[in-house]
């Protein structure tokens, strides 16, 4: 069975997380992704000696080409590749590709079918467009930090690089939409995603609380409900960690009360409905904490599974790295890497029944497929390649 993006050629200039995650999803759907790096390698390679795990996680199923885009010969090889490509993915700082003479306006002249996808911190235009942007600064500017953490403590970033990844996956969605449109029009186009834009809709709960209550709820509520309007809804300390528990309907509260052996609470008018419980959040949380603190998180989880009460243990990173469900679903896969040996890389969160991810291979070494790609796409000879290598055009 052909995969969804079989036959599609991607030139991936992505670095760190945003662009590489986007093109990882393209590769996982069957596109031929050529990761084009400078002679030194992309930022993640430079940042840490050796093969850092972040790079290995996000570059499976790609071919690696190392090409000096600052040299005239390197540019010319790149534009020759552009003629044979369907998609370019890049998330350089604003203006980088234009300075190289490789901006969309130039490239579309040589390939009108090209889909040029650009991931930026603040987008291509607007008052902040020129500012340097990283995941941390976008989380600060975009309201993610204001809404994360405890109300009496400083704002804190979301641990994962959510701005980078939201940027990358929106870019993927834009590219596949443009591919579909190209089937109708025969034309490529520019696809643009600003990380700062992507973190705005995800503030739904906070913006909802702000507009619904005229700003009367705190910006951040720790692990409690953003609108302080659901109870129980919190993370509770256990003997060996933490557990999240929520009751969205009364039946779940009743089950929880029974599991805790506190049936007398069913008669208490403070806890009859969610509205009642939300008016007594501190009391509800205290009752639950006093029960969880003497038990182990997985023992509590087992009881709550049986009682059908929504919950989850707060998993540590070693627990996530070994999660049996993620393994079952092949979200954790083991591949062999020439230097790093057996490593664990993610599978695809996007599952298409007619485009299964059957084969995953490890991220390329820097320039691992330079010769293969230039031979296959541009019919270069061994002599050509040796000369280009001597001239510091390829690696």
- Strand 9-12 and strand 241-246: the pairing is unpaired
Comparing CB distances to its own copies, the nearer of 125 and 263 is: 125
Least CB distance from residue 14 to its own copies, whole Å?
13
For helices 18-28 and 162-185, give the axis angle rounded to 10 degrees: 50
Select from 43, 94, 18, 118 the least CA-distant residue to 366.
43
- Contact of 191 with 174, CB cutoff 8 Å: yes
Q: Which of 86, 164, 285, 371 is catalytic?
A: 164
Least CB distance from residue 353 to its own copies, whole Å?
4
CA distance 112 to 20: 24
Comparing CB distances to its own copies, the nearer of 257 and 301 is: 301
CA distance 197 to 186: 29
Comparing CB distances to its own copies, the nearer of 93 and 378 is: 93
Q: Coil, strand, or helix at residue 248? A: coil
Comparing CB distances to its own copies, the nearer of 200 and 381 is: 200
CA distance 21 to 70: 25
Is 354 noted as a catalytic residue in this protein? no
| DSSP assigned state of 265 | G
Find the farthest-apart pair of alpha carbons in the chain and give their distance in angstroms, rounded: 87
φ and ψ at residue 87, rounded to 5 degrees: -140, 140
Q: Active-site residue numbers?
A: 164
């Amino acid at each position: 069975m052909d995969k969804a993006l079989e036959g599609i050629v991607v030139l991936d200039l992505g670095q760190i997380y945003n662009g590489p995650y986007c093109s990882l999803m393209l590769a996982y759907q069957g596109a031929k992704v050529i990761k084009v790096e400078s002679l030194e390698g992309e930022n993640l390679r430079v940042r840490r000696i050796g093969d850092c795990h972040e790079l290995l996680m996000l570059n499976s199923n790609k071919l690696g080409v190392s090409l000096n885009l600052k040299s005239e010969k390197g540019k010319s090889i790149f534009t020759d590749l552009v003629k044979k490509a369907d998609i370019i993915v890049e998330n350089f700082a604003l203006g980088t590709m234009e300075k190289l003479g490789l901006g969309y306006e130039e490239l579309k002249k040589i390939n009108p079918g090209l889909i040029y996808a650009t991931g930026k911190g603040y987008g291509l235009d607007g008052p902040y467009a020129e500012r340097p942007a990283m995941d941390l600064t976008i989380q600060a500017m975009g309201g993610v930090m204001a809404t994360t953490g405890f109300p009496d403590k400083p704002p804190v970033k979301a641990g994962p690089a959510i701005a980078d990844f939201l940027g990358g996956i929106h870019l993927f969605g834009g590219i596949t939409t443009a591919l579909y449109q190209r089937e109708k029009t025969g034309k490529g186009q520019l696809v643009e995603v600003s990380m700062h834009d992507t973190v705005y809709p995800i503030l739904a709960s906070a913006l909802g609380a702000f507009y619904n209550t005229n700003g009367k709820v705190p910006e951040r509520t720790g692990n409690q409900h953003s609108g302080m309007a659901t109870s129980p809804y919190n993370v509770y300390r256990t003997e060996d960690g933490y557990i999240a528990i929520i009751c969205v309907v009364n039946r779940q509260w009743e089950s929880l009360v029974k599991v805790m052996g506190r049936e007398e609470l069913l008669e208490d008018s403070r806890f009859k409905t969610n509205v009642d419980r939300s008016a007594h959040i501190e009391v509800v949380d205290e009752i639950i904490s006093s029960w969880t603190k003497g038990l182990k998180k997985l023992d509590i989880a087992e009881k709550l599974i049986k009682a059908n009460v929504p919950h989850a243990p707060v998993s540590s990173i070693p627990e996530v790295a070994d999660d049996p469900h993620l393994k079952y679903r092949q979200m954790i896969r083991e591949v062999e890497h020439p230097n790093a040996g057996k490593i664990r890389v993610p599978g695809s969160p996007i599952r298409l029944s007619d485009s299964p991810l059957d084969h995953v291979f490890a991220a390329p070494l820097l320039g691992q497929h330079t010769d293969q790609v230039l031979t296959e796409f541009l019919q270069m000879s061994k002599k050509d390649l040796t000369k280009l290598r001597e001239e510091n055009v390829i690696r």
